[in-house]
Amino acid sequence: MSEMVKGVTRTGQFEWEVPVGYVPGMRVPGRFYLSDALTGTLEEGALKQLANVATLPGIRCCSLAMPDIHWGYGFPIGGVGAFDLTEGVVSPGGVGFDINCGVRLLATPLREAEILKKAEVIEDLYQAVPTGVGARSSQRLGKADLRSMLEDGASWAVRAGLGMERDLDRCEGNGRMDETDPSKVSEKALQRGLTQSGTLGAGNHFLELQVVDEIYDPAAGAAFGVEEGTVAVMIHCGSRGLGHQVCTDYIQVLEAATRRYGITLPDRQLACAPVDSPEGRAYVGAMAAAANYAWANRQVITHHAREVFGRRFGLAPEDLPLVYDVAHNIAKFEEHEVDGRRERVCVHRKGATRAFGPGAPGLPSDLAALGQPVIIPGSMGTPSFLLRGTEEAMRRTFGSTCHGAGRVMSRSGAKKQLAGRDVREALRRDGILVRAPNDASIAEEAPSVYKSSTEVVRVVHEVGLGRLVARLRPIGAIKG
């Protein structure tokens, strides 16, 4: 490994440990998973953030990071931390601004050759799903609707005719967090939420057309509903301005609480409060409400996508079944084995995906023996992957795995080195059509600014933090 990761110990072929003492005040070690090929991408800032998380009160086992670890704010991206419910804390810095940013995958019966006018299909999707900075919802939401979204999550959208009951069965936690408390969401957050339902956002958010081009695990593939050679739709977005405002509000609240509870922090973005405190409970209630908004939001976008496929190809909504929907910025209450006994803990996943193994609670009954479907997006030009959760992930990482490829180049570096138009043309030559509001946003998200999704997922598969089920090749995308 390079000089900048001095002080880190290799503890396995893909496992590395950041010892207590790497930064002052660490209560447990840090642990991350990388192959030799990926170690060159590791930044000192990410390691420091991993170590900072280990200083938080009540952290159990260790501060963890997945193979897509990179430098973020508060927790590193790819970070996982589980906290005791009595001694431990909850922190917006372990969830992020985009609460319940997540990914869902829809199957279709179409073959790639049947998408005859791909540019027109992409344009239809771009027109159907409000995208980019300043985009406003095509829905007219009232305050009662918004409250129902925060209360009920994806099921609000299904009740409103924007989905099917089966969709809920294929969402993590049925597309809802029970801890929701809309009364803890500020007026500012509500105002932002009213106008952005069903919008995609910008940055790395996307709606992508893909082809299932390899099945690694036929039994799981069949059970998950993906067939080799068929087209799939992947949607990546979160809780929009409502979630961003919840995070902003509660960092202010928990900053004050941190001082009140005498907690010393290495980074103010890790502002936190005991899980079992008025401030901690308030944040959890608001965060869960924002998470529910995000599930409803992805459901609305799903509806728009199904409408486009209905108009273009005569498909019914049931012809585009939901494979699964996962959150990758969230804090959840789960039972795990820690130090040889079962404990209920608050698991923070910041750019990390739940990957529950066979027999874990809350899985759809027909998938219980296989494990949870796990969706790992690549980039516009590199494959995404469908995996299944494992017992190994339950044992090692509180049932968690990576959330994507992970960036290696800054956005400013990307814009300096890459012209958006060139990236667009290179993708087109590879058969990938991209529709975005501007070329700069394409340059910022070019395939070369990310680690190899194939290598990141290989590490996940080799370590056992997920088992490969299928690979999905991109053929087109709309981006914000």
Partner 1 sequence: MSIEELEHTADLRFRVRAPSLADLFAEAARALMQTLYADLRGPATEIRPIDLESGDRESLLYNFLSEVLYLSEAENLVFTEAELKVTPSPPSVVGRLVGRPFDRALHAGGTEVKGISYSDLAIVEANGEFCLEVLFDV
Residues that bind partner 1 (CB under 8 A): 43, 45-46, 49, 70-74, 77, 96-98, 132-134, 136, 188, 191-192, 201-203, 241, 244-245, 247-248, 251-252, 255, 267-269, 271, 407-413, 437-438, 440-441, 444, 480
Rounded alpha-carbon distances, angstroms, from residue 175 to 100, 102, 178: 10, 11, 10
Closer Cβ to partner 1, 180 or 269, answer by number? 269
Closer Cβ to partner 1, 49 or 197, answer by number? 49
Closer Cβ to partner 1, 136 or 143, answer by number? 136
Please report how close the Cβ of residue 361 comes to partner 1 at its closest, in angstroms: 31
Please report how close the Cβ of residue 109 comes to partner 1 at its closest, in angstroms: 34
Q: Which residues are catalytic?
A: 403
Question: Which H or E run contains 433?
Answer: strand 433-435
Rounded alpha-carbon distances, angstroms, from residue 246 to 243, 340, 413: 5, 36, 30
Q: How far apart are CA 170 and CA 104, in angstroms?
A: 9
Chain CA centroid to CA 473, Å: 19
User: CB–CB of 231/475 below 8 Å?
Assistant: yes
Closer Cβ to partner 1, 2 or 412, answer by number? 412
User: CB–CB of 65/464 below 8 Å?
Assistant: no
Please report how close the Cβ of residue 193 comes to partner 1 at its closest, in angstroms: 10
DSSP state string for 324-386: EEEESEEEEEEEEEETTEEEEEEEEEESEEE---TT-TTS-GGGTTT--EEEE---TTS-EEE
Please report how close the Cβ of residue 201 comes to partner 1 at its closest, in angstroms: 6
Phi/psi for 223 (5° steps) reads -65, -35
Please report how close the Cβ of residue 249 comes to partner 1 at its closest, in angstroms: 9
Closer Cβ to partner 1, 368 or 408, answer by number? 408
What is the crossing angle of helices 278-313 and 240-260, to 10°?
170
CA dihedral (12, 345, 42, 237) positive or negative: positive
